[in-house]
Structure 1
Amino acid sequence: MSRILIAEDEVLMLKALEFKLKKDGYQVDVASDGKQAMEKIKQNTYDLILTDIMMPFVGGMEILSYVKNDPVKKITPVLLISAVGLEDVVLEGFRLGAEDFIYKPFNLNELSVRIRRHVKQNNFA
């Protein structure tokens, strides 16, 4: 069973993502701020990390940078989610190594397909 970390500070969004991904058969850990997410990333191994860009304490770009600069964790796909779709923000995310960028609001079924694709690709890498 693939393990996913969701880092999202909007409670309703976090609960909806957690419910959907558990229903899809994933083991799901959640973090309601960037500090919690970093602690979980340092202590665990994930098949995918889904993180909001703007969160308290530590932002999604910092999480992405940490993961992609870690020699062991760098293979973990990181998907960024944000209501901010500014070109420079998106490009910075991809430059830092994000596998995908999802704009809020999004369709949970589409997100599910994107996650499945990235988890599958990573498991065959």
Structure 2
Amino acid sequence: MNTSDKKIMIIENDEMTIEILKFLLKKEGYKISIAKDGINAVERIPIILPDLVITTIIIPLKSGLEIINYIKENFKGMAVIALSSLGEEENTVEEAFKLGVDDFITKPFNPTELLLRIKRFL
């Protein structure tokens, strides 16, 4: 399966981060879908069935932690990478791992590092 078969959902409400991720991932050949809030994400995940979800922790309507929990309870094979701004509480990172997040990366992120982490799951 090549990258063009792989679907990635980005759950993020910061336009700059969305644009960076879209550019980066489309260039690699991934199919991208975007959700800008937690409710929209939870509604679309069962329809799109992405191979990987990249979610920010602080997002409107449902937190990234709630989304991680939802995915891990309902979609066993779906990988989740959480994005977090520098300075967000350490217990948030701990909580994300307890809920089953597959990886955690801090914003601002290194694009090459993020791609390597994505490829590890796909």
Q: Does 1:33 align with 2:6?
A: no
Note if contact 1:14-1:32 (Cα within 8 Å) is conserved in structure 2.
no
Gaps of 5+ in 2: none
Q: Distance in 1 between matches of 2:50 and 2:103?
A: 16
1:85 shift after superposition: 4.1
Indicate the SS of the match to 2:10. strand
Deviation track 1:38-81 (CA, whole Å, cap 9, x = no partner) reads 111122211100000000101111110001111xx121011100
Gaps of 5+ in 1: 120-125
Q: Does 1:55 align with 2:54?
A: no
The two structures, once aligned, show a CA RMSD in angstroms of 1.0
Among candidates 80, 83, 92, match of residue 81 of structure 1: 83
TM-score of the superposed pair, with normalisation by structure 1: 0.89
Q: Distance in 2 between matches of 1:32 and 1:19?
A: 17
TM-score of the superposed pair, with normalisation by structure 2: 0.91
Which aligned pairs between 1:79-118 and structure 2 lie closer than 5 A? 79-83=81-85, 84-118=87-121
Q: Distance in 1 between matches of 2:31 and 2:65?
A: 24
Q: Distance in 1 between matches of 2:110 and 2:95?
A: 24
Q: Distance in 2 between matches of 1:32 and 1:11?
A: 9
Q: Does 1:15 align with 2:19?
A: yes
Q: Distance in 1 between matches of 2:46 and 2:65?
A: 16
Aligned residues: 117
Q: Which residue of 2 is the match for residue 122 of structure 1? A: none
